[in-house]
């Protein structure tokens, strides 16, 4: 009798062990894919037009029309499982200063394979941007001292996947120094259509 019970338990125990091993393996893959610090994102402001302190910011000109050259850089060298992608249809690269929108553009679709590095360039521009005088004066002073920092957000629609009733966007949020080198970003996830 004991042998019949043991023989019935053996296949069931093996199935439970196999399911446990598969679940552990899947958990490892997800954990490995989402580990903080694996993929490094940076943004560099490569050029700025329309924000000259003497010509644009200290003048009586009421509206600004700035144009920003932006490089998005992905260092995926520590990730050995999945590629990382940014941009594409419906994407945006937004530049703001003191919560005031300065410029907006699209981010080109590009992917960086595992253990690789890559970057893409884009432009963000504003037309007739109304900047309050206190922000205009502060920005002019910071530009003259070489200390101006803007906020850059690069949104990739459905970059974190789509589910039954919604999609999740990925947003790279960065503080980039004008005239400086690469600025680190952090990657956030938001529901599509929200900020």
Question: Which residues have C-beta within 8 Å of that of residue 68, sequence separation ≥ 6?
Answer: 45, 47, 48, 95, 102, 103, 105, 123, 124, 125, 150
What's the confidence (pLDDT) of residue 33?
57
Output the average pLDDT for the chain.
88
Instruction: Compute CA 171 distance to the chain's CA centroid, rounded to the nearest angstrom.
Output: 4
Q: Into which CATH architecture does domain 37-191 fall? A: Sandwich (2.60)
Question: Which residues have C-beta within 8 Å of that of residue 189, sequence separation ≥ 6?
Answer: 160, 168, 169, 170, 171
Q: What is the pTM of this model?
A: 0.78
User: pLDDT per residue over 70-102, tens digit each?
Assistant: 999 999 988 777 888 999 889 999 999 999 999
53 pLDDT exceeds 80? yes
2 pLDDT exceeds 80? no
Beta strands per DSSP E along the chain: 40-49, 63-64, 67-75, 84-86, 92-97, 100-105, 110-112, 117-125, 129-130, 149-156, 168-177, 183-191
CB 74 within 8 A of CB 41: yes
What's the confidence (pLDDT) of residue 195?
54
5 - beta bridge partners?
Answer: none
User: pLDDT per residue over 164-184, tens digit each?
Assistant: 888 889 999 999 999 999 999
Specify the range with the lowest mean pLDDT, choosing from 27-31, 135-139, 156-160: 27-31
Alpha helices in the chain (DSSP H): 2-34, 133-145
The band of 1, judged by pLDDT with boundaries at 50, 70 and 90, is: very low
What's the confidence (pLDDT) of residue 159?
80
More confident residue, 105 or 190: 105
């Amino acid at each position: 009798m004991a042998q019949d019970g043991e023989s019935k338990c053996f296949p069931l125990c093996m199935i439970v062990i196999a399911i446990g091993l598969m679940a552990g393996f899947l958990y490892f893959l997800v954990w490995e894919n989402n580990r903080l610090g694996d993929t490094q994102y940076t943004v560099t402001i490569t050029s700025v037009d329309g924000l000259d302190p003497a010509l644009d910011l200290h003048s009586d000109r009421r509206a600004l029309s700035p144009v920003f050259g932006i490089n998005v850089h992905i260092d995926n060298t520590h990730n050995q499982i999945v590629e990382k992608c940014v941009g594409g249809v419906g994407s945006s690269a937004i530049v703001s200063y003191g919560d005031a929108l300065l410029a907006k553009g699209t981010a080109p679709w590009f992917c960086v394979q595992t253990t690789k590095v890559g970057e893409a360039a884009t432009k963000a521009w504003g037309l007739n941007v109304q900047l309050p005088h206190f922000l205009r004066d502060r920005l002019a002073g910071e530009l003259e001292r070489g200390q101006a920092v803007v906020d850059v957000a690069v949104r990739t629609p459905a970059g974190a996947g789509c589910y039954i009733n919604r999609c999740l966007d990925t947003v790279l949020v960065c503080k980039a120094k004008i005239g400086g080198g690469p600025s680190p970003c952090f990657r956030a996830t938001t529901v599509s259509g929200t900020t």
